[in-house]
Amino acid sequence: MSKLTGRGKGVTNRPVFAGLAALCLLFCTAPAYSVDISDVVSLVETSGWKADLGPLCEKFGVTNVSRTCIFQQLSVQEIEGRGDPRGFNVPSTHDGVPRSFVLIFHLGPLVGEFFVATTRGDLIRAFYRAKGRDYEELPVDEVREEYQRDLEYWLNNLARIQSGLERR
């Protein structure tokens, strides 16, 4: 049997690549939908649950409009890698005031990473907490790549997370 044409008993002479080309015409020319942080914020606002993050607002130097540390939160356990918990938090407001920041976390076995970012995705502050220790602020420039990977996790998995929420 030819590897390129798929010729063999009961197989047509049409090249295997023709089927791939047809699939590409079907999917490659479809309009692309770009996911950004506002899509994640919207999903958390509509499908997240209330989470009281207690003293974190004070430790991280952020203030919710209502002066509380109540957020809408989505947290997931990643299915790839180590299965680390991840969370995306949007401050709760009841008066329609636009939110100015989000809190993203990624908890590893020994270290938790916490990022405060604008609702446009700009990193404002970053913290880590090692097991048994208090939160420590990190220079933003030193953790920008790690923040970007954590943000990309939410952007790349938004459809899967949304689908999972719809099934519950």
List the chain domain ranges.
1-32, 37-167
Are 71 and 85 in contact by the 8 Å Cβ rule? The answer is: no
More confident residue, 145 or 98: 145
Alpha carbon 27 to its chain's center: 24
Question: Tens digits of per-residue pLDDT, 58-91?
Answer: 889 887 656 778 899 999 988 777 889 999 999 9
Sequence-distant (6+) residues with CB within 8 A of 30 are none
Of all residues in the chain, the percent with pLDDT exceeding 90 is 52
Question: Tens digits of per-residue pLDDT, 121-157?
Answer: 999 999 999 989 999 999 999 999 999 999 999 999 9
Global pTM reads: 0.76
Helix, strand or coil for residue 47? helix
More confident residue, 18 or 104: 104
